[in-house]
């Protein structure tokens, strides 16, 4: 059979339907499409895709198993490396990782193998299978994990498999971290997150919600009761532009907007009690995946006009291409090379619009991207009754403030060794966004895997 | 929940079994709870703790659907979630003479500070204010830890008729006060801060902005203090009252007033827990760290 040039298409909800609901956009491959797509894989011996994957999934192996219609085997291969495959299959930036280096995609006319979509197929199949509760003995020791996001869950899964009793402490009432409060339902359904977490718990991991480490229990108590600790609390303190009018009603951080919608089910108000402002015109500031999530959520909340304000151009947009395309299909508008300078008051303390200036791109800055420069006299107003700032996060100080011995870097993130996740305090490891600053789910998972390995070595050496 | 007591019309005291919180809580800190899986995260100041029985005491006023649902629970009912202690504790030490001002249900949040400051050796002067006699809660508890207790009511049914700021001024004119606290409705705190400023007395207030996670993650509770942005949940809830941008704070409290009213009215129509004919809504009851969106 001749390989098709293009990826096997995945069915999606039509834009004009999906922008009215929070249901998942991409509907997933069926087995037939999966086998078709799997047969496009060249089965490279040196498999560059594996090296480009932060958790080094045996990609050609699982794809071969799909081609052979052995989904069970494909799942076994994936789950050797990833504890959260249904999540990775949906939210990993595959186009910048495995799929970017795919040999097939390197050859003329061919698109890379849809590795992410195949991973999702296998993972979704697995989620439908009954969870086998394995009786384990936890002979190697006890490990505490702070934070139940992708990094903490990954470390927990690996440590449980290695024979550790793992307790995860989560500050919110639902586990999952950014997977639960940040990424919207239409991109990552919460039932998928819940099922993946159930699988981690089935490995013998305990998750205690409503525990704020540093407040409800202290790091000293953890040091006393556990052999090691992995801090994976995420970045989690929203940045604000700090421009005039930021306190007006209708100005949100993306964290608040998305938390209201995702964690608190604001889109189901009044069935759920936490409201979120419904607006006719919404401005979203920023150009990352979080900005896309906020903009597309605002559309689903009924906004007739949603404008993303980004100070660079489409070429520099940090969001995933797929998310950008989805947003355009859904009618999200973009104001490129634009920077907000003030929020305008409607006279009653509510937002009326965003005062902006136009930008042009100057010389490259430290990040290698051309630096946006204000064009004098270019002020204009984008009308909006809600504005959402999605400009990134800084480090959350709740835990760090109560643990002054822990070394932090000049940006306020934990100063942990990238190779080992070790901090300056013996037995305390850290990884994910609280070390790197806001990054991706898969990188946080990579850190979690590393931490699990290093914690195992540390505890084993200590016992010896 | 192990106990529930009605203190006054729409004001309730509850005790909740939460050993970790009871062990760690300090004056000025708060908890966040949910009554049901559909409910809001409700921040409430911790009034008392009993570490021996592992219990925490909270006092709240029914001002919307969420607090009405909380009031409808009974002993032995379970809360959906309970997390804390959150926020920075009050700075309890021996200042000399301290003036503590509580208004309405804010008295509940003031009480642990009264107690803490008395135990730290201060001369404690406490002013309690409320609309009417039955709303002056925790009077005897506060009296037990105060060198002087002054009660002010709007209708003169208890203590003196008038505002707490008048009582504050009397104290400032009479003696030197080293530091003051005021906890109650926003407008009361704003004017108490102005009064203290007139007499150069530093004054702490406890802010109760709209809040979700309570751990500094969402930024919804941001307030402008001394021209910089602070998050009440982690930097506060206490701030120097003279540094708070009150106009902005009071404005931000109104963000969801329409949704809150709709929600509460629908709830009352459905449940009618108080047998009321007419709704009375108070959007700013000043519960210390307070009620989020009612």
- B151-162 residue pLDDT tens: 999 999 999 999
The CA R_g of chain A, rounded to the nearest whole Å, is 23
What is the predicted pLDDT for the residue at A55? 87
CB of B21 less than 8 A from some CB of A = yes
- Residue B244 confidence (pLDDT) above 60: yes
Which DSSP helix (H) or strand (E) runs through A326? helix A321-329
* B81, B85, B266 member nearest A173 (Cβ): B81
- Residue A8 confidence (pLDDT) above 80: yes
User: Taking CB atoms and an 8 Å cut-off, how many pairs form between chains A and B?
Assistant: 115
What is the predicted pLDDT for the residue at A366? 81
* B84, B224, B263 member nearest A270 (Cβ): B263
- Residue A450 confidence (pLDDT) above 50: yes
CA pair distance B181, B202, nearest whole angstrom: 8
Which DSSP helix (H) or strand (E) runs through A323? helix A321-329
For an interface test with B, the pick among A176, A194, A213, A216 (most B C-beta atoms closer than 10 Å) comes out as A216
What is the predicted pLDDT for the residue at B293? 31
Residues 6+ apart with CB under 8 A from A174: A180, A209, A263
| Long-range contacts (CB closer than 8 Å, 24 or more residues apart) made by A61-66 | A62/A118, A62/A119, A62/A122, A63/A38, A63/A113, A63/A115, A63/A118, A64/A38, A66/A34, A66/A35, A66/A38, A66/A118, A66/A121, A66/A122
What is the predicted pLDDT for the residue at B275? 54
Contacts of A171 in chain B (CB under 8 A): 83, 213, 215
Lowest mean pLDDT among A192-206, A288-302, A359-373, A418-432: A359-373
Contacts of B16 in chain A (CB under 8 A): none
What is the predicted pLDDT for the residue at A17? 93
Nearest Cα of chain A lies from the Cα of B208 at a distance, in angstroms, of 15
Cβ pair B66:A249 closer than 8 A? no
CB of B236 less than 8 A from some CB of A = no
CB of B268 less than 8 A from some CB of A = no
Closest CA to B104 of B58, B139, B57: B139
Mean pLDDT score, A433-458: 92
CA pair distance B30, B49, nearest whole angstrom: 12
Cβ pair B229:A236 closer than 8 A? no
- Residue A38 confidence (pLDDT) above 70: yes
Cβ pair B216:A270 closer than 8 A? no
Which residue, chain included where needed, has tokens 């003051």?
B180
Cβ pair B217:A236 closer than 8 A? yes
Mean pLDDT score, A52-80: 95
CA pair distance A439, A419, nearest whole angstrom: 17
Structure tokens at B238: 């206490």
Nearest Cα of chain A lies from the Cα of B125 at a distance, in angstroms, of 31
Mean pLDDT score, A10-37: 94
What is the predicted pLDDT for the residue at A347? 92
Structure tokens at B279: 């709704």
Looking at residue A417, the DSSP 8-state letter turns out to be: -
What is the predicted pLDDT for the residue at B272? 66
CB of B93 less than 8 A from some CB of A = no
What is the predicted pLDDT for the residue at A359? 95
- Phi, psi angles (nearest 5°) of residue A319: -70, 160
Which of residues 229 through 248 in chain A touch B, CB cutoff 8 A? 236-238, 240, 242, 246-247
What percent of chain A clears pLDDT 70, i.e. is strictly above it?
100
Mean pLDDT score, A359-372: 86
pLDDT band for B216, please (50, 70, 90 cuts). Answer: very high
What is the predicted pLDDT for the residue at B25? 96
Nearest Cα of chain A lies from the Cα of B255 at a distance, in angstroms, of 6
Cβ pair B218:A209 closer than 8 A? no
Three-class SS of chain B? CCEEEEEECCEEEEEEECHHHHHHCCCCCEEEEECCCCCCCEEEEEEEEECCCCEEEEEEECCCHHHHHHHCCCCCCCCCEEEEEECCCCCCCCCCEEEEEEECCHHHHHHHHHHHHHHCCCEEEEEEEECCHHHCCCHHHHHHCCCEEEEEECCCCCCEECCHHHHHHHHHHHCCCCEEEEECCHHHHHHHHHHHHHCCCCEEEECCCCCCCCCCCCCCCEEEECCEEEECCCCCCEEEHHHECHHHHHHHCCCCHHHHHHHHHHHHHHHCCCCCCCCCCCCCCCCCCCCCCC
Name the more confident of A121 and A136.
A121
CA pair distance A228, A462, nearest whole angstrom: 10
Mean pLDDT score, A350-365: 93
Structure tokens at A453: 């390995």
Closest CA to A9 of A111, A127, A160: A111
Cβ atoms B1, B16 nearer than 8 A? yes
- Residue B283 confidence (pLDDT) above 60: no
Which residue, chain included where needed, has tokens 């708070």?
B244
3-state secondary structure of A206: strand
What is the predicted pLDDT for the residue at B181? 98
Alpha helices in A203-302 (DSSP H): 219-225, 254-261, 289-300
* A173, A265, A270 member nearest B266 (Cβ): A270
CB of A262 less than 8 A from some CB of B = no
- Residue A365 confidence (pLDDT) above 90: no
What is the predicted pLDDT for the residue at B278? 47
When the pLDDT of each residue in chain B is averaged and rounded to a whole number, the result is: 91
Cβ pair A270:B259 closer than 8 A? yes
> Where would I find the beta strands (DSSP E) of A41-195?
141-146, 164-169
Cβ atoms A141, A165 nearer than 8 A? yes
CB of B39 less than 8 A from some CB of A = yes
pLDDT band for B292, please (50, 70, 90 cuts). Answer: very low
Nearest Cα of chain A lies from the Cα of B270 at a distance, in angstroms, of 13
* A210, A256, A277 member nearest B81 (Cβ): A210
Mean pLDDT score, A14-23: 93
Cβ pair B65:A216 closer than 8 A? no
Pairing verdict, β A386-389 and A281-285? parallel
Which of residues 115 through 174 in chain B touch A, CB cutoff 8 A? none
- Count of CB atoms situated within 10 Å of the CB of B123: 18
- Residue B224 confidence (pLDDT) above 90: yes
pLDDT band for B274, please (50, 70, 90 cuts). Answer: low
Which chain A residue is nearest to residue B64, measuring alpha carbons?
A273
Cβ atoms A381, A356 nearer than 8 A? yes
What is the predicted pLDDT for the residue at B284? 44
- Residue B286 confidence (pLDDT) above 80: no
According to DSSP, the residues that pair with A374 across neighbouring strands are: A359
What is the predicted pLDDT for the residue at A424? 96
Cβ atoms A295, A332 nearer than 8 A? yes
Closest CA to B148 of B121, B130, B182, B171: B171
Looking at residue A12, the DSSP 8-state letter turns out to be: B
Contacts of A255 in chain B (CB under 8 A): 217-219
Cβ pair A396:B24 closer than 8 A? no
CA pair distance A151, A235, nearest whole angstrom: 12
Cβ pair B219:A260 closer than 8 A? no
Which chain B residue is nearest to residue A247, measuring alpha carbons?
B248
Contacts of B234 in chain A (CB under 8 A): 397-398
Which chain B residue is nearest to residue A270, measuring alpha carbons?
B263
CA pair distance A440, B236, nearest whole angstrom: 31
CB of A210 less than 8 A from some CB of B = yes
Cβ pair A273:B263 closer than 8 A? yes
Contacts of A238 in chain B (CB under 8 A): 217-219
- Residue B87 confidence (pLDDT) above 90: yes
When the pLDDT of each residue in chain A is averaged and rounded to a whole number, the result is: 94
Residues B56-80 pLDDT 10s: 999 999 999 999 999 999 999 999 9
* B66, B215, B260 member nearest A398 (Cβ): B215
Structure tokens at B33: 């709870």
What percent of chain B clears pLDDT 70, i.e. is strictly above it?
92
What is the predicted pLDDT for the residue at B131? 94
- Residue B273 confidence (pLDDT) above 80: no
CB of A252 less than 8 A from some CB of B = yes
């Amino acid at each position: 059979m001749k390989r098709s040039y293009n990826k096997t298409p995945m069915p999606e909800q039509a834009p004009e339907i999906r922008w009215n609901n929070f249901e998942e956009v991409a509907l997933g491959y069926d087995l037939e499409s999966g086998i078709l797509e799997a047969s496009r894989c060249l089965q490279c011996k040196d498999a560059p895709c594996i090296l480009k994957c932060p958790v080094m999934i045996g990609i050609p192996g699982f794809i071969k198993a799909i081609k052979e219609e052995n989904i069970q085997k494909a799942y076994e291969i994936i789950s050797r490396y990833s504890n959260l495959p249904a999540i990775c299959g949906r939210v990993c930036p595959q186009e910048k990782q495995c799929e970017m280096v795919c040999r097939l995609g390197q050859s003329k006319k061919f698109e890379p193998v849809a590795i992410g979509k195949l991973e999702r197929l296998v993972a979704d199949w697995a989620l439908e299978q009954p969870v086998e509760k394995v009786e384990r003995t936890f002979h190697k020791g006890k490990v505490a994990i702070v934070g139940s996001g992708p990094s903490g869950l990954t470390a927990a899964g690996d440590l449980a498999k290695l024979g550790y009793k793992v307790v995860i402490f989560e500050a919110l009432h639902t586990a999952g971290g950014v997977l639960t409060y940040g990424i919207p339902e239409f991109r990552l359904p919460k039932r998928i997150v819940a099922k993946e977490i159930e699988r981690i718990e089935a490995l013998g991991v305990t998750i205690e919600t409503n525990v704020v480490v540093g407040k409800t229990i202290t790091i000293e108590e953890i040091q006393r009761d556990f052999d090691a600790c992995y801090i994976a609390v995420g970045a989690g303190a929203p940045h604000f532009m700090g421009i005039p009018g930021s306190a007006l009603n209708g100005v949100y951080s993306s964290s608040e907007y998305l938390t209201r919608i995702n964690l608190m089910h604001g889109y189901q108000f009044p069935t759920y009690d936490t409201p979120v402002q419904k607006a006719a015109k919404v401005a979203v500031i920023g150009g990352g995946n979080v900005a896309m999530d906020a903009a597309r959520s605002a559309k689903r909340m009924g906004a007739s006009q949603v404008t993303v304000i980004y100070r660079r151009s489409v070429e520099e947009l940090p969001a995933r291409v797929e998310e950008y395309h989805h947003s355009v299909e859904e009618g999200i508008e973009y104001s490129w090379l634009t920077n907000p300078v003030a929020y305008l008051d409607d006279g009653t303390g509510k937002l009326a619009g965003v005062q902006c200036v136009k930008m042009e791109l100057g010389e490259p800055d430290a990040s290698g991207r051309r630096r946006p420069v204000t064009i004098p006299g270019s002020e204009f107003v984008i009308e909006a009754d809600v504005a959402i700032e999605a400009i990134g996060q800084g480090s959350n100080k709740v835990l760090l403030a109560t643990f002054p011995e822990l070394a932090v870097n000049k940006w306020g993130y934990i100063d942990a060794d990238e190779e080992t996740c070790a901090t300056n305090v013996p037995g305390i490891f850290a990884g994910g966004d609280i070390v790197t600053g806001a990054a991706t789910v898969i990188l946080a998972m990579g850190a979690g895997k590393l931490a699990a390995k290093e914690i195992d070595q540390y505890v084993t050496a200590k016992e010896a | 929940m192990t106990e529930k007591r009605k203190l006054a019309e729409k004001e309730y005291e509850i005790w909740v079994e939460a050993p970790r919180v009871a062990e760690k809580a300090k004056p000025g800190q708060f908890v966040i709870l949910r009554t049901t899986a559909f409910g809001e995260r409700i921040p409430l100041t911790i009034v008392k703790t009993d570490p021996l029985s592992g219990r925490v005491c909270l006092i709240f006023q029914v001002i919307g659907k969420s607090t009405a649902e909380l009031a409808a629970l009974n002993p032995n009912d379970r809360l959906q979630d309970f997390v804390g202690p959150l926020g920075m504790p009050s700075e309890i030490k021996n200042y000399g003479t301290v003036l503590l001002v509580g208004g309405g249900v804010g008295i509940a949040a003031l009480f642990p500070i009264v107690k803490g400051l008395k135990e730290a050796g201060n001369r404690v002067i406490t002013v309690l204010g409320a609309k009417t006699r039955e709303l002056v809660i925790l009077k005897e508890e506060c009296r037990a830890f105060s060198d002087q207790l002054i009660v002010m009511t709007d209708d003169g049914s208890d203590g003196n008729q008038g505002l707490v700021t008048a009582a504050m001024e009397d104290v400032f004119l009479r003696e030197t006060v080293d530091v003051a606290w005021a906890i109650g409705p926003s407008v009361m705190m704003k004017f108490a801060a102005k009064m203290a400023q007139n007499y150069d007395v530093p004054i702490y207030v406890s802010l109760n902005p709209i809040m979700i996670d309570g751990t500094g993650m969402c930024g919804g509770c941001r307030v402008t203090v001394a021209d910089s942005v602070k998050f009440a949940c982690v930097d506060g809830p206490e701030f120097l009252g003279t540094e708070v941008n009150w106009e902005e704070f009071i404005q931000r409290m109104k963000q969801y007033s329409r949704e809150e009213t709709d929600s509460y009215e629908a709830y009352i129509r459905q449940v009618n827990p108080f047998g009321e004919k007419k709704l009375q809504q108070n959007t700013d009851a000043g519960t210390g760290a307070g009620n989020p969106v009612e």
